Amino acid sequence: MTDEQIRFNLIDAFSGSSDTTSNFISILIYYITKYPEVKKKIFDEIDNIFNGDITRPVTQNDIKELKYCPAVIREVSRFHPILPTIPRYITEPDNLAGYNWSAGTQFYFNITGILQHPSYWEDPEKFIPERFFDDQLNKDLRNLLFGFGVRNCPGYKSSMIELQCFLCLLFRKYDIELVDPNVPLKTVIGFLTACLELPVRIKLRK
């Protein structure tokens, strides 16, 4: 690899794993606390696995037992995607949809539109984590949070493990409530969806 290729790969690695993760965690907490029934199911799943032990490390077997937590992560990414668009560009001339496109043309895939389109999702306007229990759901749609094709996110598996560990470590010990459940989530959309603020109350679980 050339120095320039190494530099851009490092930029991709850092930018793709820092801002996206921190902002997605804020959005994730918002929707979990916005829907009390969702939070209760997360509590129940985590309590069933850890049996009240709030100190032992999260293991690989614990992650394998989680079913509802990864479904919530995927539903949040569908309901409020951290990456509203994903760019691709062609390296040689091509014809697409009856139009001729020159090499170097960049396309932006409307990820938000795909993730909330009724052609692909039943009741897309509703927050339903259980929809991801369906093994028949298109694999590309299940993981669209991390892109698609041969250039999808190389950190997909580690990111899912990281997010599930985060939920276990947080909610087996703490309860979180929105300061005002009626206030919508404040975000700004650019290359990614950034959370501007998230006023919450954090307390020890009883």
* pLDDT tens column, 101-135: 999 999 998 989 999 999 989 999 999 999 999 77
The pLDDT value given to residue 19: 75
- Which two structure tokens, joined as six digits, stand for 17? 């794993």
- The rounded distance, in Å, linking the Cα atoms of 107 and 127 is 29
- Which two structure tokens, joined as six digits, stand for 110? 């409307």
The pLDDT value given to residue 75: 96
Residue 78 contacts residue 142 (beta carbons within 8 Å): no
Question: Distances in Å between the alpha carbon of 157 and those of 1, 54, 79, 145, 162?
Answer: 25, 25, 20, 12, 9
pLDDT at 139 over 70: no
Which domains does the chain possess? 13-84+110-204 (1.10.630.10)
Percent over 70 (pLDDT), the chain: 88
The pLDDT value given to residue 18: 62
Mean pLDDT of the 35-39 span: 97
Mean pLDDT of the 6-24 span: 73
The pLDDT value given to residue 152: 72
Q: Higher model confidence: residue 38 or residue 16?
A: 38
- The rounded distance, in Å, linking the Cα atoms of 31 and 139 is 23
CA dihedral 194, 197, 199, 205 (to 10 degrees): 40
